[in-house]
Amino acid sequence: GAGVSQSPRYKVAKRGQDVALRCDPISGHVSLFWYQQALGQGPEFLTYFQNEAQLDKSGLPSDRFFAERPEGSVSTLKIQRTQQEDSAVYLCASSLHVSGQGQPQHFGDGTRLSIL
Amino acid sequence: AQTVTQSQPEMSVQEAETVTLSCTYDTSESNYYLFWYKQPPSRQMILVIRQEAYKQQNATENRFSVNFQKAAKSFSLKISDSQLGDTAMYFCAFMKERGYGGATNKLIFGTGTLLAVQP
């Protein structure tokens, strides 16, 4: 596609429910990143994929967060047993090559997750 | 660990005037990359400008330019001839150079500066 596509754009869930957020990166992009952006803050790194391999998940805040990219294209971020502190905008970004040499990351519009 | 600081939570500028947004960072790395991203209300992060730390020449992109002071660890963004469409949140971001061992080139963001361009 022309850009990074994320869905849904908005998601409201009750505390304790599981949610799944989808990211469709730019076609052919090898690297894929997930970030979490709390209200009034800058995005914070969650996890990184190189093709289908999850090479860095150091930013995932708890074991309730799980991400996958099984075919090296679309990625899903899953949050189990959601809590109010999970409320944030979740941003996905992709870059063309293996992460390195300062390649710009191209971002989607994000999914705004609200936990009631 | 690297940190990025943006000390101006909000700024305002008149249309057609020039404004400078500040950013400082802390790192022990010698090679790295710095970025300015713009986030309008639509939420999509849009790359404004990119600077390679080993290049002394300041990056420019049309009306946008940076003042990169490596020794001072300062990376300010200058917007000339401000336009209404420049109204947005601006984030400064740091990226390590991928070195031996293949560290992830995640972006480390500041807290942002909300810029309002007034007609």
Residue B102 domain-assigned (yes or no): no
Give the H or E element holding residue A19: strand A19-24
Of B32, B37, B104, the CB nearest to A48: B104
Asked if residue B77 is part of any domain, the answer here is: yes
Regions of chain A where pLDDT drops below 70: 1, 98-100
Provide the pLDDT confidence category of residue B41 given band limits of 50, 70 and 90.
Answer: confident
Those residues whose C-beta lies under 8 Å from the C-beta of residue A9, and which sit 6 or more positions away, are: A109, A110, A111, A112
Longest CA pairwise span in chain A (Å): 42
B85 closest CA partner among B105, B104, B64: B64
Predicted confidence band at B76 (pLDDT cuts at 50, 70, 90)? very high
Model confidence band, residue B97 (pLDDT cutoffs 50, 70, 90):
confident
Partner B contacted by A42 (CB < 8 A): yes
Res B31: pLDDT: 86
Range of the structural domain that residue B39 is part of: 3-96+107-118
Q: Which residue of A has its CA nearest to B34?
A: A102
The answer to the question of residue B101 being in a domain is: no
- Chain A interface includes B96 (CB < 8 A): no
DSSP output for chain B: --EEE---SEEEEETTS-EEE--EEE-S-SSEEEEEEEE-TT---EEEEEEETT--SPPEETTEEEEEETTTTEEEEEE-S--GGG-EEEEEEEEEPP-TT------EE---EEEEEE-
- The partner residue sitting opposite A41, judged by closest CB among B97, B102, B111, is B111
Interface test with B, best of A105, A106, A109 (most B CBs within 10 A): A105
How far apart are alpha carbons A51 and B75 in whole angstroms? 32
**How high is the pLDDT of residue B4?**
97
Q: How many domains does chain B have?
A: 1
Q: Is B33 on the interface with A (CB under 8 A)?
A: yes
Per-residue pLDDT tens digits for B11-34:
999 999 999 999 999 999 888 999
Contact A33, A103 (CB under 8 A): no
Which of residues 60 through 79 in chain A touch B, CB cutoff 8 A? none
B106 interfaces chain A, CB cutoff of 8 Å: yes
pLDDT band at B103 (very low <50, low <70, confident <90, very high): low
In chain A, the domains with their CATH numbers are 5-115 (2.60.40.10)
Can you give the CATH number for the domain in which B72 is found?
A: 2.60.40.10
- Take residue B85 and report the two structure tokens written for it: 């469409």
pLDDT tens column, A10-26: 999 999 999 999 999 99
Contact A45 B107 (CB under 8 A): yes
